[in-house]
Amino acid sequence: MNIHRIAVLLFGVCILACGSSASSSSSDAAAAKTDAKDGSVAAKLVKLDFLWVIDQSPSMCQEQRALTKGVDDFIANLQKAGIADVQMAVVTVQQIADLDKTQPGAVQAVGQFMHAAATTFPPNCMAQNRVPCGGDTPCSQACAGDAVCIQQCADAQCTQAIDFSFKVNPLSSMCPAAATATFNDPPPAGTDWRCNTAQPQYIQNDNCSTNSFCWKHCTTDQECRDLYEPQVPKDQQKMICYVPGGTAVEKAGCMFPPDTADCPPASQLPAVLDKDHLNLFHCNAMVGASMTQESKFEGGLRAAWMALDPNGPNCPHGADGKPTADCQYKQLVRDDAWLVLVFVSNDDDCSVDLNISLDISMKANKDALYGDGVSKGVLPKDDMFKCQQLGDAVGGNQALNDGVCEYKKSFDPSILCASDCRGKSGADFAACMVPVNAMAKAKGFARVDSRFAPVSDFVNRFKSLKADPSHVFVASITGDALPIATTATTDEAQVLDQQHWDEVTYFRSLIHNVAQGQAPYICEGVHGGTSGYGSRYIQLAQAFGSRGLVQSICGADFAPAFLALVDLALQAAPKP
């Protein structure tokens, strides 16, 4: 972590806390720049080309809706700032093309610009509240192992609106200090809440993230609208009671469908939106939630490069050696414009080295990649699901390496880890870390896997997309440890230190909490969405210094991220 990261974090916190005043001050600042002598004319000459790299995993439904709902205000703020000549295109984070290309929203080619608005979401997108339901001792004791009884007990906990708290983990600020369960007054009669629970011993992960959740069982759309849209006029309410498969009424739950009813068909939706068609961005950005095997292997950095590589598969060249009209790089990236790469994901990047082919269009390629039953292949499917804990070619993820050490230490207390030096400073800290580093090197705690490309590789490639590398901006809107509550005596070092240990504990959970149903996360949004730690996206943005932006995806909406993006874009405006 660095000073820029905490500055951006505090900027976002200020916007959330200050409400409209923060938005107003940002607009005032933009107006001040453009109203200066000749400033308005000069600023309007600024051109920005945006490539949005959007996660289309099932856990991204809430985030995609929040993104598309807020983009109109974002574009309006750009225009208020005098930056009117904007282009936008969208790709997904998927780094292997879908084998079944007939499915709606299928990725035909990695890095190909998306322009087909999603019209449906899968069952995973139903509204839910993360609650450790079914995990208290009385349920298991009272039911004596009876599965039906335990489920009824867990459902009752959801209906009674529980306030749970769990054990203390000194490394994680996600863990509260007590171990109690308080049952409050039940909601009105007829309210039907149910628990999707894991086995009691797997309710909670090492970093105190929760694997079970409560969901509202429904029979009509209006039930959901009364619960989730009570202040919205009835003719504008959108939530539906979704029945999985159309018949699984016992699994029915409330869901916001994609806001794409006004979108044209793909044949009429441009892949690159110019300044006159930005009102269609919500259509391109609503990429949907894919359930395919290929979509689960996310590599946003690789996908972004494949999208814009001037010599890559999405930039064909003619017999004269010049790019054809189908070249995405030439369609989006203008010579006289600034390039802005925006990564939006609630999971980490797992980009495979570009020298490794991920083409599985033929069985021979599929067997070479995944294995054929005899050979494991280059990238067995098991490794795809645990790629975030395998490390990259240089093993430079310090939080992951520290997490590996903490995991080993949980079995062997004699192991020394960086946590043994917490609270020390200066010479004392340096002296403490000498044996820690020696043991880490001797036992190989650093995770190195040559199949996964280091972030630095993509930093250099993205900078090469413009003749002047300073004309490339990077924004990463992803999951990270939320800041601890601060007081007048809390200093920046304390905030950064606790965030680092939340990241360490998250990786320890990924390595340790691998039972079926366990899914550690590092932060939770107000609408029930969760996020893993986007460490590589954050590293990428940090590598761009003042031209890089990091914002948390775990918020009520994207307003803080969008305002920070406008502020970042104003760096391109000529100074009056």
Angle between helices 559-569 and 20-35 (to 10 degrees): 20
Three state DSSP letters for 136-171: CHHHHHHHCCCHHHHHHHHHHHHHCCEEECCCCCCC
* Secondary structure letter of residue 558 according to DSSP: S
Q: Which of 247, 365, 254, 344 is nearest to 300 (CA)?
A: 344
Two tokens, residue 399 = 């939080």
Residue ranges, comma separated, of all CATH 3.40.50.410 domains in the chain are 3-121+264-351+458-480+533-572
Q: Which residues pair with 476 in a beta bridge?
A: 343, 550
CA distance 231 to 117: 28
Please tell me the class of the 3-121+264-351+458-480+533-572 domain.
Answer: alpha beta
In angstroms, the first-to-last Cα distance of the chain is: 33
Across the chain, which has 576 residues, the per-10-residue mean pLDDT values are 38 32 36 39 74 92 89 90 93 93 84 94 89 69 76 80 59 67 50 81 88 91 91 94 94 94 94 95 93 90 98 95 95 96 96 94 92 90 90 94 95 95 89 95 95 97 97 96 70 79 95 92 82 96 96 87 91 75
* Secondary structure letter of residue 350 according to DSSP: -
Two tokens, residue 557 = 């909406």
Q: Which of 355, 205, 202, 331 is nearest to 271 (CA)?
A: 331
Among positive and negative, which fits the CA dihedral 125, 131, 132, 136?
negative
Two tokens, residue 181 = 């369960």
Quote the longest CA-to-CA distance of the chain: 78
Task: Give the pLDDT score at 455.
Answer: 97
Q: Whole-model pTM?
A: 0.89
Task: Give the pLDDT score at 163.
Answer: 53
Task: Give the pLDDT score at 11.
Answer: 33
Task: Give the pLDDT score at 494.
Answer: 75
pLDDT tens profile 421-458: 988 888 999 999 999 999 999 999 999 999 999 999 99
Two tokens, residue 559 = 């307003």
Which residues, 6 or more positions from 426, have their beta carbon under 8 angstroms from its beta carbon?
none
**Amino acid letter, residue 552:** S
